Amino acid sequence: MYVCGATVQAVPHIGHLRSGLVFDVLNRWFTHHGYEVAYVRNVTDIDDKILRKAAEAGRPWWEWATTHERAFTEAYNTLGCLPPSVEPRATGHITQMISMIGELIEKGHAYAAAGDVYFDVRSLPGYGALSGQKIDEMTQGEGEGAGKRDPADFTLWKGAKPGEPSWGSPWGTGRPGWHIECSAMARTYLGSAFDIHGGGLDLVFPHHENECAQSHAAGDPFAARWMHHHWVTQAGEKMSKSLGNTLSVPAITAHTRPIALRYYLIGAHYRSPIEYSPKALADAVTAFERIEGLLGRVAERVGEVAIGELPAEFVEAMDDDLAVPRALAVIHDQVRIGNSSLADGRPEDALAAAGAVRGMLAVLGLDTRDPRWATAAAGDDSLHRATDALIQALLQQRTAARAARNFAEADLIRDNLAAAGFAIEDTSDGPVWSVIPTN
């Protein structure tokens, strides 16, 4: 399968991680069924945002991309995603893109104009089928191009602009358009035809429609199936960068265990949105602790909990277009059975239920006993603990200052925390802090 991965321009928030998690669960489920999965997830390491942000920070664009590629890798690891078979970078496949663009020109589906190359959308019968677009009513959202014959056409190659990175090509120096990247990388690693293409709902149009168009026009059957996952939303909208600042993976895992965050983020059906709220996250943490509670009690009172067989209803749910919510319901049924078996003095039944629970958790990447989680959790404990103690002390000091009507002192404390990059949220459980990513 080919999955559209990150544009590495910032530290990821939990919305950016959903894709990695959805296809990690799918990858694990296929592997459970005995398939050998060739899993390609690309890294878009050049685009307008990367260039702009790097320039604003006064850093080379390639250092900016490298730094944030590392931040994504770290976040995927933190949330227990198994690594893909290969993580190709867009800038690493210019040769293949140029060769594909050449084929498209040769076959009459693309044209060079004023240093750019465009895809001739009307040359391809069936354009728009994937996303249900009508050519006369749509916009590619990429602005005008000097030599664009039809506003519906999209860019395959952008002529070089001063001060921007560029590569040599038969049409002059420049850089690739966004869509051609994935057509060329999918073909490089998976060949002309492959099983599944995945990505977020926002990629259906124009990105995937245009990938499809390019690959079909070049003669590739391309993806047999498409899987589009919904977003993590806030007030129904795709989580935005600005809203997401306090929701970066490092910020959330400063107060929430990574394994519980994973449980929360894989819990919805991949085609449904996850409307983020601190309460929803807290509820998921509680639900996960309920599962752990059973496992702990059985281990303590009965004995070692082995990884048991998967209940048939769990397998059915997972096989039915990855119905994870139904699969989690099966886990919680078994937790209830395990708890009542303990209460009723039926230890063998409790052990069987706990074994089934551990088996289901394991296949979802949620086995608490997997050493992967131990290293992720152990990581930063002492720094986190000390920082937490310091911030709690400062917040108490602020409360005391306010009570004494010493507002200058209270404000200074608040300002120091904000300037350092800590976000403080008042919750019913008291203040909760997180780190705001710096870029």
* Contact residues for a second copy, defined by CB under 8 A: 11, 38, 60, 62-63, 66, 70, 74, 78, 83-89, 91-96, 98-99, 167-168, 189, 248, 250-251, 253-254, 371, 374-391, 393-394, 397, 412, 416-417, 419-422, 435-438
Shorter beta-carbon distance to a second copy: residue 280 or 423: 423
Region of 421 on the Ramachandran plot (φ > 0 left; ψ -120 to 50 alpha; else beta): left
Shorter beta-carbon distance to a second copy: residue 235 or 419: 419
Shorter beta-carbon distance to a second copy: residue 92 or 132: 92
**3-state SS assignment for residue 424:** strand
- The overall longest dimension of the chain from CA atoms, in Å, is 80
Q: How far is the CB of 150 from a second copy (least distance, A)?
A: 29
Q: How far is CA 168 from the centre of its chain?
A: 32
Shorter beta-carbon distance to a second copy: residue 100 or 342: 100
Those residues whose C-beta lies under 8 Å from the C-beta of residue 350, and which sit 6 or more positions away, are 298, 301, 302, 338, 339, 341, 342
Q: How far is the CB of 311 from a second copy (least distance, A)?
A: 29
Q: How far is the CB of 13 from a second copy (least distance, A)?
A: 12
Q: How far is the CB of 362 from a second copy (least distance, A)?
A: 16
DSSP codes joined into one string, 37-77:
---EE-BB--SHHHHHHHHHHTS-HHHHHHHHHHHHHHHHH
CA–CA separation, 100 vs 160, rounded Å?
19
Q: In Å, how far are 78, 366, 375 from 378, measured between CA atoms?
A: 11, 17, 5
Q: How far is the CB of 432 from a second copy (least distance, A)?
A: 14
CA–CA separation, 91 vs 293, rounded Å?
48
Shorter beta-carbon distance to a second copy: residue 306 or 386: 386
> Are the C-beta atoms of residues 79 and 249 closer than 8 Å to each other?
yes
Shorter beta-carbon distance to a second copy: residue 76 or 154: 76
Residue ranges in 270-323 assigned as alpha helix (H): 278-301, 312-319
Shorter beta-carbon distance to a second copy: residue 184 or 337: 184
CA–CA separation, 146 vs 93, rounded Å?
26
User: Which amino acid is it at 426?
Assistant: D
Q: How far is the CB of 404 from a second copy (least distance, A)?
A: 13
Q: How far is the CB of 224 from a second copy (least distance, A)?
A: 19
